[in-house]
Structure formats: structure tokens, C-alpha cells
A and B are shown apart, each in its own frame.
Chain A
């Protein structure tokens, strides 16, 4: 895939997340795709595990804002900065348990903002082979 096609694919990932369309998100991935979200946790492999991962994300009513992607000159990569805003529930308590953020006083109404950069590697047909989502504790902000 050329650079522009890869950038378009990377943006399409966020578009499908924002549309809340789980199966459409999974359809972007190769069957043996590997996702690290965040980088540093054990990788998630295969459609079933990815479905569980994105189901949880969509349950938090996530919305992603993106910037213009950049490409690699390796015929494989597109990188995308993503700022996500999501409900504290259901994932937030796990974040708090890990010490990534402080548990809010009002968990039902609290939201999380997260800055991340996605490094997405695609096969020649445009299916995602690997996605690395870089974000750390300091990239999380509790909103209200």
C-alpha cells in the first residue's frame, strides 16, 4: 500500500471506533494481528481477544480525535496521534488498581482523557498486522 492509502486506513480505524462498530473494527485486522495497548502490557493476539479488548473500550463510549498521520518509508507503517475521551467506567477501576490514576469521587460521571500515538503496521492488502499504542501514566487525565 502506498503512503496515502496507509494513512487513510489509520484514520479509518479511529472512524470505526467512533462509530462504535465492533465488527467493523475487527475487520481491519489480520487474523493473527498483535495489539499492544498500551505498549508494556502483554500483547493481545487474534480476533477473539481483540473483540474482547474493543468491546470494553466501546463500553466506555470512547471518542477519538486524530491528527494527520505520518507514514514510514518501509511500505508498512502509518503513525497516528490520538486523543481519546472515555467514561471512567468500565475500564477506569482497573487503571486505578494498577496505580495509573487516582480513583475519582464520582466514578459514574467521571471521564478519562488519554493521549496516545498508534504505530500501525499493515500487510500489502491493508490489513493490520500489528498495532502499538504508546501511552503512559502521565498521558492520562481524569476529567471531573
Chain B
């Protein structure tokens, strides 16, 4: 069974790989029959084919994930991590997410429940602040903007990705 340190490392690996656009590397972290609910409340993706399409979309949106402090459980099965996820396209947005990940005996993710609500999404463009209910703290919005700006400066990826929308966004 994966020990607590191994479980905590898994969510850090996930964020590093998705930030690098390494979709196959992300898929290597999961079982073939992975059930991935993102967000919880929508029908989950089942299997690596489904998950690959979701990840391709996420990467094409310029997803950048900063994991927070993970916690575990006493049954060798779970790691739970908050994260702040920014996307650049179709417009800059910040998502506050808590991921509940269940791992199998080999340390592979078998189920992911990504909890985020419409009130956990912040629109980061000042000319269109969005629904006031969606706004979290000004500090968080500023942090996300800084991260997105740094990310954009480093990236040469521009192009047709702007037509995509991440799944599940209703805001």
C-alpha cells in the first residue's frame, strides 16, 4: 500500500506534469479504469480515454495548477489536496479546488473527486469582473493574475486554443 509520503507526492507529481503539458505522464498516475469527477456533481469521466480528452482540453486552456498542503487518511487509501488552478483560455479564470484522490495498492489513482463550485471560480479580467458572488478575496485574484502573467511570459503557446471551454464551467 502507498504510504502517506507517497500519496502526498502523487498530487505534486500530478500538478507538475499537467503544468508541463505532459498528458501521458499524468495518465501514468492512474489506473486504466480511473473514475474522475471534475467537478463533483457532473457525470464522471471513466477510463483513460475519457481522461486523456479532459487533460488535452485542460492543457489547451493553459491550465496551471498550484497544489496546497495535502492531507491523508488512516486507511492507506486517500490523499486530499487543495489547489489553485488558473486557465488562460477562453479567458483568465481561477478555480479553487479540493481534490479527493483514492489510490490503489500500487499507488495509482483509481478515483478522483474534484470539488469546486461556481462560487469557487473567479474571472480574472478587470473589465469583466463577473458575478460578484463568484469573487473570492481580492488577494487571491491578484495572486492568480500574477501567476498567469508569469506563465504567459514564459509560454510561446498561442493559437487556436481560445475556442475551447473547460468542461463543467457554467459561469
Spell out A's residues near B (CB within 8 Å): 3-4, 7, 38-41, 67-68, 70-75, 77, 79, 81, 115-117, 119, 134-139
Contacts and interface: CB of A to CB of B under 8 A. Distances in A.
A38 B74 contact: yes
Provide the main secondary structure of the chain A interface. mixed
Given A136-B4, A137-B4, A138-B4, A73 B118 contact: yes
B8 to A, nearest CB: 7
Query: DSSP class of B's interface residues: helix, strand, loop or mixed?
Result: mixed
A112 to B, nearest CB: 15
A4 B71 contact: no
Nearest to A6: B117
Contacts of A115: 69, 71
A116 B75 contact: no
B75 A39 contact: yes
A40 B41 contact: no
B109 interface: no
A72 B78 contact: no
A79 B119 contact: no
Contact of A71 (B8, B68, B115): B115
A39 B73 contact: yes
A77 B40 contact: yes
Interface residues of B, number: 33
Given A73-B42, A137-B4, 17 more contacts: A39-B74, A39-B78, A40-B74, A40-B75, A40-B77, A70-B98, A70-B115, A72-B39, A73-B39, A73-B168, A75-B41, A116-B71, A119-B115, A134-B100, A135-B72, A136-B72, A136-B74
Contact of B97 (A70, A81, A135, A138): A70
Contacts, number: 96
In the A-B complex, list the 7 residue pairs whose CB atoms are closest, starting with the nearest: A40-B74, A71-B117, A73-B41, A40-B75, A136-B72, A74-B41, A39-B73
Contact of B40 (A38, A39, A72, A137): A72
Contacts of A70: 82, 96-98, 115-117, 120
Interface string B48-68: 000000000000000000001
- Of A41, A116, A117, most B-chain CB atoms within 10 Å: A117
A124 B68 CA distance: 30
B112 to A, nearest CB: 13
Contacts of A72: 39-41, 115, 117
A136 B81 CA distance: 13
Contacts of A75: 41
B8 A138 contact: yes
A116 B74 CA distance: 12
A138 B74 CA distance: 10
